[in-house]
């Protein structure tokens, strides 16, 4: 009898140990299930947040469009290339060059007829090179035209000539293909990049810089999805 008791005790201990191991396995399974549920819950919450952010951005864009549509046409016509902007103002025929009030700084333009309110008086969308920019006054049918040939400081497209004025339509920003062919390789590459970015913006797609950043991050952190990431 004395030999049977230790054996029974040993069996009981093994059984208890096996039970404990099984319980641990079950606990681990439950922990994994709980973790998966939490991850899924977090993913759903993130998706909801992204949807809310997207809706908010769309609402803001819609409001901006409505504001843009309400803006009056500026009192001038203008066109641009990556390195220049040409502005044309209608002037009464009797006005001469000495009657023109013109002041251009790196960031601001004031132009009009002396003794009258300025026709343009505002902050430029980008920066200018005042010393390289010129203005001319020419007689045309029905009056005169004051033309400003403004040289931009650095290449780039301006959304509008003066901040707060109506923005130029995207399709009007595409440069003449002939002018691109006349450029050096670096300038042509820069213009092509600008054209690509404008078309992407028009379609609500990421710019070339954003695509490049996403690609770099994806290589560094392949476990994450950066396809919807946005950068300031």
Same domain, 4 and 63: yes
Q: How many CB atoms lie within 10 A of CB 168?
A: 18
Same domain, 77 and 138: yes
- Name the domain boundary from 48, 70, 92: 70
Q: Which of 182, 76, 67 is nearest to 121 (CA)?
A: 76
Enclosing H/E stretch for 23: helix 4-70
- Name the domain boundary from 115, 133, 168: 168
Same domain, 164 and 77: yes
- Name the domain boundary from 168, 199, 219: 168
- The total number of structural domains in the chain stands at 3
Place of tokens 């300025």: 118
Q: Which of 61, 81, 59, 71 is nearest to 167 (CA)?
A: 71
How confident is the model over 151-186, as pLDDT tens digits? Answer: 999 888 899 999 999 888 766 665 555 455 566 777
How confident is the model over 62-82, as pLDDT tens digits? Answer: 777 667 667 788 999 999 988
The per-residue pLDDT for 231 is 60
Same domain, 117 and 176: no
| Domain extent at residue 26 | 1-70
Q: Which residues is 87 bridged to in the sheet?
A: 78, 148
Same domain, 77 and 159: yes
Same domain, 14 and 82: no
Same domain, 6 and 59: yes
Which phi and psi (to 5°) does residue 173 adopt?
Answer: -90, -10
Instruction: Give the pLDDT band of residue 106 (cuts 50, 70, 90).
Output: very high
Q: Which of 16-20, 27-31, 48-52, 81-85 has the lowest mean pLDDT?
A: 16-20
Same domain, 65 and 80: no
Residue 107 has pLDDT above 90, yes or no: yes
Which tokens sit at 152? Answer: 């931009």
């Amino acid at each position: 009898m004395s030999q049977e008791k230790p054996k029974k005790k040993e069996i009981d201990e093994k059984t208890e140990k096996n039970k404990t191991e099984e319980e641990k396995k079950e606990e681990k399974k439950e922990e994994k299930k709980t973790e998966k549920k939490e991850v899924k819950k977090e993913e759903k919450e993130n998706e909801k947040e992204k949807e809310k952010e997207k809706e908010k951005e769309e609402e803001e864009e819609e409001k901006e469009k409505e504001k843009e549509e309400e803006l009056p046409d500026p009192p001038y016509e203008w066109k641009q290339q990556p390195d220049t902007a040409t502005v044309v103002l209608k002037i009464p025929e009797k006005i001469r060059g000495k009657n023109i009030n013109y002041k251009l700084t790196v960031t601001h333009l004031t132009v009009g007829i002396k003794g009258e309110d300025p026709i343009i008086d505002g902050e430029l969308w980008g920066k200018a090179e005042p010393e390289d920019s010129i203005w001319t006054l020419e007689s045309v049918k029905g009056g005169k035209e004051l033309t400003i040939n403004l040289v931009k400081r650095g290449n780039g497209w301006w959304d509008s000539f003066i901040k707060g004025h109506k923005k130029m339509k995207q399709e009007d920003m595409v440069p003449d293909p002939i002018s691109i062919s006349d450029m050096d390789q670096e300038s042509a590459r820069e213009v092509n990049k600008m054209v690509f970015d404008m078309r992407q913006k028009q379609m609500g797609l990421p710019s070339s810089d954003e695509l490049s950043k996403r690609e770099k991050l994806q290589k560094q952190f392949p476990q994450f999805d950066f396809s919807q990431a946005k950068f300031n």
